[in-house]
Amino acid sequence: MKIAKANYEYSKFREKFQNNIKKSLIYLIECSESELSIPENFQLRWNICGAYYLAVCAAEKDNRELCINYLKYAAKVSESCEMLNEHTINITALDYRTQSEFDINMILQILNEDDKGVKVGFQKDEDISVEKEKINDALNLLTEFDIESYRECCEFIDTIYLTGSTKGYYIRSGCNFNLWGLIFLYANEENTLPYYIEHIVHECAHHTLNIINADDYIVQNDPEERFRAPFRKDARPMIGIFHALFVLCRISQSLQKFVDCYDGEYSKEFAERLDISMSKYNDTLNIVERHVRLTPVGEKLLDDIKMAMLGMRGSNDK
């Protein structure tokens, strides 16, 4: 399936991924010999995905009790999600006082396993009203100028957690493969609507490519190999750079739509962000084409990306 442009069949794309998670949950339940069940009308949410991942980890360590603990939570959330509007994005603070303790612990445990050393800071519900309104305004602008990206976001993202700062490196925006459906956005009064639009499109693009990664390898480079990345100070593995290429492809296309059609107080910022995104895309493409060793799936993806970028202002693709 061609996914470099947002106007693909993202509902079917999600459905296949969701059904695979459902089948795996049912298999784990059977293996654990627990009396749990997953509803027929299963709707994947980020905390189901997190509980599923941790259940798998527990099963691999032959810890039946811990595995059942996470499976029980996944089943419980699955039941409560049956009646939810599957196209609603919940925007809320990552507030330890009000959010589920189980959810918070899953987030911290999964992020702590990530070797990047990036942390997430808590935020207070009462301090996010302005930023929450800005994010809603950003989503409304997406509906007006880039409806396909908006619809894809609604299909993939169920929760946006607004986060705060903490010691060391902390998340400005991010997502995690094992928390599929959740994105983190750092709530800061300096953030503009174009900033939020760019970062929402950015994280949704990671979700898209992560569905591919769930079933197929994209690159054959050694995971320990590191390459210079034009967008980061630290060198990155090739899969990270390929992810960046896909993300920049998506961001550039979205920003181009705003540059072409939007006329308002953020016109200049949209144009500046597009220039930066295109420059990073060209640099990243150069690195990929010089160093990548692609699988057949990766080759098709790269061709799709380059085709999607044909005619884009500032693109080196011919």
pTM equals 0.94
Instruction: Please give the pLDDT value at position 314.
Output: 62
Instruction: Name the percent of the chain lying above pLDDT 70.
Output: 95
Instruction: Please give the pLDDT value at position 168.
Output: 75
| Token pair of 172 as six digits | 């400005």
Question: Smallest Cα–Cα separation from 206: which of 153, 255, 263, 131?
Answer: 153
- Within the chain, residue ranges assigned H as helices are 10-32, 46-60, 64-81, 101-113, 129-145, 147-156, 193-215, 238-261, 267-291, 296-308
CB 285 within 8 A of CB 247: no
| Token pair of 136 as six digits | 């809603």
Phi, psi of 62 (to 5 degrees): 60, 30
In Å, how far from its chain's centre is CA 39? 25
Phi, psi of 86 (to 5 degrees): -70, -5
65-119 pLDDT tens trace? 999 999 999 999 999 876 665 678 999 999 999 999 999 999 999 998 875 667 8
Lowest pLDDT segment from 166-170, 215-219, 225-229: 166-170
**Calpha distance 187→123 (Å, rounded):** 8
What does the DSSP assignment read for 27-75?
HHHHHHT------SS----HHHHHHHHHHHHHHHTT-HHHHHHHHHHHH
- 52 versus 83: which is more confidently predicted? 52
CB 153 within 8 A of CB 86: no
Instruction: Please give the pLDDT value at position 279.
Output: 95
- Give the pLDDT mean for 272-295: 96
Domain ranges of the chain: 10-81, 216-310
Phi, psi of 65 (to 5 degrees): -65, -45
Instruction: Please give the pLDDT value at position 1.
Output: 76
Categorize the per-residue pLDDT at 233 as very low, low, confident or very high, splitting at 50, 70 and 90: confident
Given a cut of 90, whether residue 228 has pLDDT beyond it is no
- Give the pLDDT mean for 287-305: 97
Given a cut of 90, whether residue 8 has pLDDT beyond it is yes
Instruction: Please give the pLDDT value at position 47.
Output: 98
